[in-house]
Amino acid sequence: MMKVRHRIGLLIIIAFVAYSFIAFQTSLTPYVSFAQAKSSTGAVQVRGVLATEKITVTENGKTVTFLLRDETGEEVPVIYQGTKPEGLDQATSIVAVGKYQNGQFVAEKLLIKCPSKYQGSVKPS
Q: SS3 letters for the chain?
A: CCCHHHHHHHHHHHHHHHHHHHHHHHHCCCECCHHHHHHCCCCEEEEEEEEEEEEEECCCCCEEEEEEEECCCCEEEEEEECCCCCCCCCCCEEEEEEEEECCEEEEEEEEEECCCCCCCCCCCC
Kindly report, residue by residue over 72-99, the tens digit of the pLDDT: 999 999 999 999 998 898 889 999 999 9
Instruction: Kindly report the pTM of this predicted structure.
Output: 0.70
Do 76 and 57 fall within a single domain? yes
Domain region containing 7: 1-29
Tell me how many domains the chain contains: 2
If asked whether residues 50 and 95 sit together in one domain, one would say yes
14 and 70 both lie in a single domain: no
**Do 70 and 14 fall into the same domain?**
no
* 121 inside domain: no
Q: Are residues 96 and 40 in the same domain?
A: yes
User: Does 125 fall in a domain?
Assistant: no
Asked, for residue 2, whether it belongs to a domain, the answer is: yes
